[in-house]
Amino acid sequence: MILGILNVDWQTLADALALGAVYALMAVGIGLVFGVLRLVNFAYGQLVMAGAYALAFASQWNWPRWAGILLCFAIVLALSLVMDRLVFRPLRTQSPAVMLVATFAVAFLLQSVALLWFGPLGKIASSLAPLNRPVVISGVDIRKIAIVAVVVAVLCLVAVQLLLARTTVGLQMRAAAMDFRTARMLGVRANRVIGGAVLISGALAAVVAIMLTVQTPLVTPDFALRDTIVVLAGVVLGGLNRLVPATLGGFAIGFASGLLGGALPTTQSQYLPSILFAAVILVLLIRPNGLFTRGRESLERV
């Protein structure tokens, strides 16, 4: 009924849910690294882009599907480890602003490298295209990828949650996110915890790359750049200090952007980024610490 008022059909709703799910995964990837390093990884989208290129090349070389997915994971994980070693580690003691600018530089660097190597025209990742076909559920066409994305996202979130709650590394990661220095004093090894967070975050980026290439098979150097900007806004909107609000923020902004994109007529939907970011700014003004966080932290810590 509400859908009728908003002029939204079930298909748009499913797509919006799927986009929200994918953005939630990206939010977890960004949030995990922020938890242990206090670093907002602007270059997260370029990890996704690298994975997407891996898939595109795999389908160009006619590799079987599983090999392409394997290659995607390998490339993204390797790249995130390299990024951690070469950029994050030397910058660990710098202020958050310096680290943000540094990852901004890395993002541009990787994007220009992709432009240099693969050209501006882009490549097609087509091996997973069958997932784009619709299935009919009680008279409604829903694309398979929408269902797959939601299911995969839920599975990944449950897996990350289990890892954080039930394993030693997870416990150490949560401790490090709460107070890194004290955690180290109690015997948590910094490199191990950070490496773990970076690896999980990289694995999530690979999953996101697979989901996104199904929806937009054309892989260009700025693949996932816009998504990263939107997710970053969503993550800050939700509240970066804890993982659950950050994830909710990512989901919310993905869902809202999918829903608005489907519901608005074209003359208005071209202003979608404006509407989205105006809403983000508004929320940040009212709740600078995040929408889904409880209580108030002091704005400036002495």
Partner 1 sequence: MRRPALLAQLAAPCALVVAVALLGTLVSRSSEGYFVDSLVKVAIVVALYVFIGNSGVLSFGHVSFVALGAWTAGVLSVPTAEKPAIMPNLAHFLRGTTVGNVPSLLLAALAGGVFALVVGLALMRLSGLAAGIATFGVLEITHNVLRYYEKIGPGLNTFSSVPETTGLWQASIGALIAIGVAFAYQRSRFGRMLRATREDAPAASAVGISVYRQRLGAFVLSGVLAGLAGGLYVHLLPMNTESLYLDLTFVTLAMLVVGGATSLWGAVVGALAVSALDSFLAQAENGVKVFGGTLDLPAGTRLVVVGVLMALVLILRPAGLTGGREFSLPRWRRP
Nearer to partner 1, 19 or 106 (CB): 106
To the nearest whole angstrom, how small is the minimum distance from the Cβ of residue 255 to partner 1?
A: 18
| Packing angle, helices 225-238 and 272-286, rounded to 10 | 20
Could you tell me the smallest distance in angstroms from the CB atom of residue 145 to partner 1? 27
Of residues 146 and 280, the one with the C-beta less far from partner 1: 280
Tell me the C-alpha distance between 113 and 106, whole Å. Answer: 10
Residue with tokens 């993204």: 76
Query: Whole-number minimum distance, CB 8 to partner 1, in Å?
Result: 22
Cα-Cα-Cα-Cα dihedral sign, residues 185, 187, 191, 192: negative
- Residue (130 or 288) nearer to partner 1, CB: 288
Burial class (CB in 10 A: 0-12, 13-18, 19+), 213: buried
Q: What is the DSSP letter of 141?
A: E
The distance of closest approach from Cβ of residue 34 to partner 1 in the complex, given in angstroms and rounded to an integer, is: 9
If DSSP states are collapsed to H, E and C, what string results for 23-87? Answer: HHHHHHHHHHHHHHHCCCCCCHHHHHHHHHHHHHHHHHCCCCHHHHHHHHHHHHHHHHHHHHHHH
Residues of the shown chain interacting with partner 1 in the complex, contacts defined by CB under 8 A:
40, 87, 90-91, 94, 96-98, 100-102, 104-106, 108-109, 111-113, 115-116, 225, 229, 232-233, 236-237, 240, 270-271, 273-274, 277-278, 280-281, 284-285, 288-289, 299-300, 302
- In the complex with partner 1, the residue whose CB is nearer, 166 or 301, is 301
* Residue among 131 and 283 whose Cβ is closer to partner 1: 283
CB of 237 to partner 1, least distance (A): 8
- By beta-carbon proximity to partner 1, the closer residue of 59 and 289 is 289
Question: CA of 207: how far to CAs of 71, 88, 295, in Å?
Answer: 12, 22, 34
In the complex, least distance from residue 14 CB atom to partner 1, rounded to whole angstroms: 26
Asked whether the CA dihedral 242, 243, 247, 253 is positive or negative, the reply is positive
